[in-house]
Chain A
Amino acid sequence: MTKTEWVGADVIRIDAKDKVRGVLKYMSDLSFPNMIYGAVLRSKHPHALIKKINTKRAKELDGVVTVLTHEDVPGLNGFGIAIPDQPVLCSDKVRYMGDAIALVGAESKEIAERALELIEVEYQPLPVVCDPEQAMLSSSPKVHETGNLHNHVKIERGNVEAAFKEAQVVVENTYFTPRQMHAFLEPESGVAAIDEDKNITIWCGGQHPYRDQLQVARALGMNPRKIRIVNTPTGGAFGGKDEITVQIHLALLVLHTGRPAKIVLSREESVIAGMKRHPMRIHMKTAAAADGTILANEARVVSDTGAYASLGGPVIGFAIEHSCGAYRVENVKLEGFCVYTNNGVAGAFRGFGANQVTFAVETQLDMIAEKLGMDKLEIRKRNALRSGDIAALGHQMEASVGLLRTLEAAENSRLWQLKEEFKAKPSAPHKKRGIGIACSFQGCGLGKGLPDYGAASVELLPNGQFAIGVSCPEIGQGNTTAFAQMAADYIRCSVDDIVVLSGDTGHTLDSGTSTASRSIYTGGNALKHAVQNLHNAISPIAAEILCVPEDDISFGHGKIVSKSCPDKILSFKDIAEYITARGLSIKSEGHFIWPVSETELEGYVGIPHLLYSYITQIALVEVNTLTGETEVIEAVSVPDPGKAINPQGVEGQSEGGVVMGMGYALTEDTIIKEGMTLTRNFSTYILPTSLDMPCKIETIIAEELEPSGPFGAKGIGEAVCVPISPAITNAIHDAVKVWIKQIPATPERVYTALKSREVS
């Protein structure tokens, strides 16, 4: 590969200056003249039949422009990425407190909110389905007529029973994980406008503009071409804006009133109505030989998807795929259940089911290591997947496998090398220190059986610069900068001459989602093809100008040069001026389809994956034995992202991921009781603050280049937040000898565990 000029460099984010100065306008900052404000009437019950909806009094209120109900949804009254089981506006039944029943458009936000109080809804409450285990019983009330079991995954290989018999060690435990909240700074919000020809444009944070377009078109019964979606810039998403949020409601308001409209959810409304991470109950039994080799793993995973499917089905599949960790396990018996309840809604969230099972399997591994007297890092090395190995689902690791590389780098880190020194100096006598390690892998892309493709465009602008277009939205992760860097190296021009168009169905081709750790790999590969086509279009023109044969043209450092006669040089600006003078333009497209695993698991889509990113993370914690408080003092994060297109960007992802995984391990949980959300804002939902961050997070990038990736890149957006959680809970065990089987490891839980250890 030729040496890169921009890829691998810490190029400053192209949106950095505007974000730092507060100049950048997010969707909720946009306003239009004559705009109305929308507000949504949510359910008063977690589970009830709707007997009657009366909007008369609300409509009569001064300043109310429109009040809409299910009767005003022209197309399909439903949405959902996998199946459209969530009503746009409920007609006969509500299934959670966030269900939308009516939509008000008014001259002001205050009037819209007052109008909500004037809408009369008659309910017939139904028994609330809270416990996913109970929900699966035939005696349970049904959330959906089709039954409460939304998806069931079962994978068996080898013979676990025989392995359990011959094993030196068998550990068996039940784990519980919380309902983590995405907690993006910008709540679900957006604006929309409609023109005289009924073309609708929606500016709204999101993660897949073309799917938003499809879902809006389907609900409106309109041609998707008449709907333009703009998702960039999104003020944080983490999977929580993958599904429809306010897009369809905005479209209905503009369609029915002809006026621009704006909806901004309050934080409380976002907490109640928005997506969460699936809480899971994981029962796991793991066997190992005397040398630490994992012989078998049996897991039963019950996932609470709440009222609607969204991506709950694929999430449980992904969880099962990752439930044996990034390790070789020959005998597996893995079963997953995705269950409907009235507990909010759960959907995509950074990690996509890996976080929950990784917490379980990485704890199991530490327990085994302890029983065998083995080093915690050594046992992971022994079992780590290598290229060509067969993974848990029986599929071969065909792509690059970097786990060992991350483990070796972690082993050489200062924190691991000096771990006894770090542990020996707690800040007070009643505080104990411990160090924990954990690994994981993360399937990139949508997986086998789901269409996964990308497209990009490149256009030579009249000033000699290039406009590149990729529809994967910028959700804060920095992909637009990475696209610019890759495009600049493919084109052989300066990164400053790249203008990035992103996340807009009006100006970019469909490149799929900004999810699944996929946008760099997808966008990069599509750009590679687009630039090949661009070069093919420029070459004959350059040859014509320079009077040389076409195959004599080469591209380098912002110049087009004759190979045989190196003083014959053109700039891209020369080409741009030449074609502009002749009324021509050069715009090319590149298309890319994801490679998939050869293994087919009959009856399942989305698993297995072909490509994985790998990671090892280490945490140093200090546990206060008097209060049960845990502080993460330092962390080491060793991701294998393939080629790091922007190392500083990878560090940013890594540090953010560590803190998100720390919140998951120690403090965060959206508590829902009898269908009612108790933690409705950030005073009770405990996100870490800047003061709670570890004093130091060291990121060591361990690149295992992926031949099919652009410049060798894979994806790293998700893996960075996964193993840090069990690294922290394993560190708690190292410090105070209690195993954490339920996260978050709150002071109460740690304290209670400490006390029961003292008693026993």
Chain B
Amino acid sequence: MTLRFIRPETVREAMEVLHEHKDNSKIVAGATDVMVQRRSEKPVEEKPLLLVDITGISELSYVNFQNGIVRIGAMITHRDIARSAVIHDVAPFFADACLSVGSPQIRTRGTIGGNIVNASPAADSLPPLTALSARLRLISRRGSRDVALCDFFKGPYKTIIEPDEILKEVYFRAPEPSSRCAFLKLGRRESLAIARLSVAALIDVDDSGKISKAAIAPGACLPMPARIAPAEEALVGKIPDEEVVNSASQEVGEEMVRVSGVRWSTEYKKPVACALTKRAIWKALGVDVD
């Protein structure tokens, strides 16, 4: 036997299983990545892998909005988020990002928890969550801990989650009602497209017309999700005009090269990252560019 499969129905049950099998288990949270990965893995006879499917745990499927905090259970699917009234209300760019994931089939199977823990640099949900300064709650039999999303990742497909831990939820403070946001994605086609580049922008403008808050988080061009502080600094305190937006956008391209180095694709990706950021910022500011 090379593979075993278990489908716990409660968080407690799942934590017990993971505790017992922490050296040879893998969580299945929709299987849209796990199944693909398993095809290229060699089965190990001596240590059959235990797949722990947590999609049947109803305790992990919720979207709550209380006291200004939005909490999303890990087993909420991309489709759920794309259709959630709460998300559309407080962070529509997060709904847009989830709607751009794969295809209807993938959005119906794939979960937000799976997308986060898989830690693909091209994950569509991560740029908006990063811009929202989201935090994660991890639980295990040993207890629970909360971490900032940006501290969760160690590199592409690498996170700090322990083998016995489950991602319970992702949560974030709802942005000010006055703030505006946008998510733009560049893929190789309209559907079933892995992001080649994406940008999430969350911007608030004060009564004087100056940008009071800005969060800029690109996707698919950094090893792990991050906000681009120099880009945000170029915006905050300014009245947005062509020059301000251009210089902020330029910072995203610069940061990409600083972090990821010059690659064969840089000649294309750098200017296009700037262009995409520029459009995302203008779109967030309410200037329709498409």
Chain A residues with CB under 8 Å of chain B are 117, 427-430, 626-629, 667, 682-683, 686-692, 746-748, 751-752, 755
Contact = CB atoms under 8 A, between A and B. Distances in A.
B265, B271, B272 pick with most chain A CB within 10 angstroms = B272
Interface of B: 42, 103, 186, 188-192, 194, 265, 267-268, 271-272, 275-276, 279, 289-290
Contact of A627 (B42, B186, B194): B186
Nearest to A686: B188
B272 A691 contact: no
Contacts of B272: 626-628, 747, 751
A16 to B, nearest CB: 24
7 contacts: A626-B275, A626-B276, A627-B186, A687-B189, A689-B191, A690-B191, A747-B186
A427 B290 contact: yes
A692 B186 contact: no
A430, A626, A692, A752 pick with most chain B CB within 10 angstroms = A626
A755 B189 CA distance: 22
B260 to A, nearest CB: 17
B195 to A, nearest CB: 12
B55 to A, nearest CB: 22
B194 A692 contact: no
Contacts of A117: 42
Nearest to B194: A683
A661 B59 CA distance: 49
A691 B190 contact: yes
Nearest to A631: B190
Nearest to B45: A114
B276 A627 contact: yes
A626 B279 contact: yes
B40 to A, nearest CB: 9
Contacts of B265: 748
A691 B191 contact: yes
Contacts of B194: 683
A428 B189 contact: no
A688 B193 CA distance: 10
Nearest to B36: A683
Contacts of A626: 272, 275-276, 279
Given A626-B275, A627-B275, A751 B188 contact: no
A271 to B, nearest CB: 14
B163 to A, nearest CB: 26
Contacts of A627: 186, 272, 275-276
Contact of A751 (B42, B189, B268): B268
Contacts of A628: 268, 272
B268 A748 contact: yes
A629 B190 contact: no
B279 A667 contact: no
Contacts, number: 51
Given A667-B189, A683-B192, 15 more contacts: A428-B290, A626-B275, A627-B186, A627-B276, A682-B192, A686-B189, A687-B189, A688-B189, A689-B191, A691-B190, A691-B191, A747-B186, A747-B188, A747-B268, A752-B268
A429 B267 CA distance: 24
Contacts of A686: 188-189
Nearest to A663: B189
Nearest to A751: B268
Contact of B190 (A429, A689, A751, A752): A689
A200 B265 CA distance: 53
A427 B290 CA distance: 7
Nearest to A755: B271
A683 B276 CA distance: 23
Q: What are the nearest 6 A-B pairs in CB distance?
A: A691-B190, A626-B275, A689-B191, A691-B191, A748-B268, A686-B188
A682 B194 CA distance: 11
A689 B290 contact: no
A382 B191 CA distance: 42
A117 B191 CA distance: 36
Nearest to B102: A683
A629 B272 CA distance: 11
A54 B4 CA distance: 32
A427 B288 CA distance: 11
A689 B106 CA distance: 15
Contacts of B189: 667, 686-689, 691-692
A269 to B, nearest CB: 12
Contacts of A691: 189-191
A659 to B, nearest CB: 12
B271 to A, nearest CB: 8
A630 B272 CA distance: 14
B190 A692 contact: yes
A661 to B, nearest CB: 16
Given A427-B290, A748-B268, A752-B268, A667 B188 contact: yes
Contacts of A430: 289
Contacts of A690: 191
A416 B9 CA distance: 61
Nearest to B192: A689
Contacts of B271: 751, 755
A688 B187 CA distance: 12
A746 B276 CA distance: 17
B268 A428 contact: no
B237 to A, nearest CB: 27
Nearest to A746: B188
A354 B287 CA distance: 46
Nearest to A110: B2
Nearest to B288: A428
Contacts of B186: 627, 629, 747
A180 B267 CA distance: 26
A690 B272 CA distance: 26
Contact of A428 (B188, B190, B289): B289
A626 B277 CA distance: 11
A755 B270 CA distance: 13
Nearest to A693: B190
Contacts of A746: 188
A690 B192 CA distance: 10
Contacts of A747: 186, 188, 268, 272
Nearest to B3: A110
A663 to B, nearest CB: 9
B103, B268, B279, B289 pick with most chain A CB within 10 angstroms = B268
Contacts of B188: 667, 686, 746-747
Contacts of B290: 427-428
Nearest to A688: B189
A629 B186 CA distance: 9
B211 to A, nearest CB: 22
A429 B289 CA distance: 8
A662 to B, nearest CB: 11
A626 B271 CA distance: 8
A527 to B, nearest CB: 42
A668 to B, nearest CB: 10
A752 B42 CA distance: 41
Contacts of A688: 189
A29 B215 CA distance: 52
A615 B98 CA distance: 42
Nearest to A113: B43
A178 B125 CA distance: 34
A692 B190 CA distance: 6
Contacts of A751: 268, 271-272
A679 to B, nearest CB: 11
A117 B41 CA distance: 13
Nearest to B289: A428
